[in-house]
Amino acid sequence: MGHVIGIDLGTTNSCVAYLEGKEGRVIHNLEGMSTTPSVVSFTRSSEELIGNLALRQAITNPENTVFAVKRLMGKKFNSESVQEISQKIPYRLTGALNGDVMIDLSSKLISPQEISAMIIKYLKKCAESYFGEKVEETIITVPAHFNDHQRQATKDAAKIAGLRVLRVINEPTSACLAYGLNEKKSGNIAVYDIGGGTFDISILEVSEGVFNVLATNGDTFLGGEDFDARIVDWLIDRFQKKQKVDISEDKFALQRIKEAAEKAKKELSFTLETEINLPFITSYGSESKHLKETLSRRDFEELTKDLVQKTIPYIEEALSECGLNPENIDEVLLVGGQGRMPLIKKMTSDYFKKDSVENLNPDEVVAVGAAIQSGILEGEMKDLILLLDVTPLSLGIETENDTFSPIIPKNTTIPTKITTSFTTVENNQRRVRIHVLQGENPKASLNTSLAVFDLVGIESAPAGVPQIDVHFEIDGDGIVRVSAVDSATQRKQGVKVNPSSGLKQKEINKIIKREQAQNARVSEYEE
């Protein structure tokens, strides 16, 4: 049996691990580093650069260097979040025919899934180099609050990269699995997961090797990128006030500022102030301009305290949904690179009245947990039981007047089956359209559409008389099946909800064949 790898596909950095005995081990990349920047760049000759190679030339090639692509996975171009992102990145975004977001490079259009696949493919290559053999299967992690489209986009990316996804596991659960296994912990654990692009809070109950997810909440557009952006805006504003020059539209200058902002943020986790020095940042007339500022930890915390405070209502809601108070939490895990920020450590310490666990590497623990999950699925760790995750968002149907009627509430442990009865709204109505939705908004049109099907042949009767039972089922792999039955005629119609990332199977197969042909050419050239 071949090796199964655990992959944490991050917004800023990605990591790959495997199971050795009963221990998760991180596989270093080809440059000897435990994590790989989630960055892809395309040179003028259309060569693809991944990770650090891409990062090193981002300043000179900003329009063809793609980063933070995880925030675009499974999203529509016209969505508010994507439009907001498009104003802050040097590369261009556009809409596909189906409304999905696409990345507009100088030579071609490419989907976020394909960019992510390039990162995953590199991680796969690192693992194969380490093992000396092919790797074909993976456990891959996603933010707990990803919806079905975003999860499917992640699975499609892995498929394009040549991997079969055995399971998609939530990042906080994965981190807790790695921690709980190694430490043999029991009790209630809060996992505060804030990475480069997303924030999740998950509450788990751990007892004798059983991991029970009680509740999860979060924001898929709150993370380290937002903290970096505050420093970027501060530097642009300071520069304009001092030099009377606006560099907000200078893509080359902005990329240098962005890299300096991220570096300064990291330094301020360990020092009280840092100097940001960018000589020759731009020219004005015949004069070169230089950017030099000193940023203190206090000022940085003042710039970003609202982002930290923004996470608290999510924590409160997650605790409320599982009937717990902060004092009921036994351990607090900080996951994700942004969790190193002293202000976040202080906030979680004050809120839960206990310090967070410090013996974890927040950049590696999610991938390690995914590797452990592979052992559970493969039966190598029979002494450990992992209860499946909860549904991150409610599932239901559209009813009268654009109303969303939840059938499976969020944070319901899966697998599960629930049936709810509905009726007709018109006299002698013979057909009912079942529109399956995912989300929390009371308006149906503001939630995510998963599937639509019709139940026909309903017995003719006055409005409100027929009883239509809508049956929702979610299995252990998160596959949703929905059926509707007219109790009078026993006519039944159902659908298996196959979440779409926006790419059709035919398109995915075409991309895979193109990749295989390219690999064959590379192999022939190397020989």
Model confidence over 90-141: pLDDT tens digits?
A: 999 999 988 899 999 977 899 999 999 999 999 999 999 999 999 999 999 9
Contacts of 431 (CB under 8 A, 6+ apart): 454, 455, 456, 457, 458
The structure tokens listed for 63 are: 């329009």
Helices 297-309 + 342-352 axis angle, to 10: 50
CA 141, CA 172: separation in Å to the nearest integer?
A: 9
- In CATH, what number does 224-305 get? 3.90.640.10
Contacts of 47 (CB under 8 A, 6+ apart): none
Contacts of 335 (CB under 8 A, 6+ apart): 171, 172, 175, 191, 192, 193, 194, 195, 360, 362, 365, 366
CA 527, CA 525: separation in Å to the nearest integer?
A: 5
Q: What is the pTM of this model?
A: 0.87
Question: Residue 445: which of 412, 480, 475, 401 has the closest Cα?
Answer: 401
The structure tokens listed for 116 are: 């992510």
Three-state secondary structure call for residue 294: strand
Indicate the DSSP class of residue 22: T
Note the pLDDT of residue 524: 52
- In CATH, what number does 4-221+330-389 get? 3.30.420.40
Active site residue: 171, 364, 389, 486, which one?
Answer: 171
Active site residue: 114, 148, 193, 219, which one?
Answer: 193
Indicate the DSSP class of residue 272: S
Map out the domains of the chain as residue ranges: 4-221+330-389, 224-305, 395-497
186-to-100, 181, 204, 209 alpha-carbon distances in Å: 43, 10, 10, 8
Note the pLDDT of residue 476: 63
Q: Specify whether the CB–CB gap between 300 and 185 falls below 8 A.
A: no
CA 437, CA 450: separation in Å to the nearest integer?
A: 5
Note the pLDDT of residue 525: 46
Chain mean position to CA 132: 30
3-state secondary structure 153-216: HHHHHHHHCCCEEEEEEEHHHHHHHHHHHHHCCCEEEEEEEECCCCEEEEEEEEECCEEEEEEE
Note the pLDDT of residue 182: 59
Active-site residue 70, yes or no?
A: yes
CA 218, CA 199: separation in Å to the nearest integer?
A: 5
Active-site residue 8, yes or no?
A: yes
CA 363, CA 380: separation in Å to the nearest integer?
A: 25
Active-site residue 299, yes or no?
A: no
Burial class of 285 by CB neighbour count within 10 A (0 to 12, 13 to 18, 19+): exposed
Note the pLDDT of residue 233: 96
- Per the document, the length of the chain is 527
Cα torsion 268, 263, 190, 71 to 10°: value is 150
H/E run at residue 296: strand 287-296
3-state secondary structure 408-467: ECCCCECCEEEEEEECCCCCCCCEEEEEEEECCCCEHHHCEEEEEEEEECCCCCCCCCCC
Question: Residue 175: which of 152, 151, 144, 137 has the closest Cα?
Answer: 144
The structure tokens listed for 55 are: 């990062």
Burial class of 123 by CB neighbour count within 10 A (0 to 12, 13 to 18, 19+): buried
Contacts of 125 (CB under 8 A, 6+ apart): 30
Active-site residue 171, yes or no?
A: yes
Q: Does domain 395-497 have CATH number 2.60.34.10?
A: yes
DSSP string, 72-102: GTT-BTTSHHHHHHHTT-SSEEEE-TTSBEE
Residues in the chain with pLDDT < 70?
Answer: 1, 181-184, 380-388, 476-479, 495-496, 498-502, 515-527
CA 293, CA 275: separation in Å to the nearest integer?
A: 6
Q: b/e map of 30-59 (b: 16 or more CB within 10 Å)? A: eeeebbbbbbbbbeeeeeebbbebbbeebb
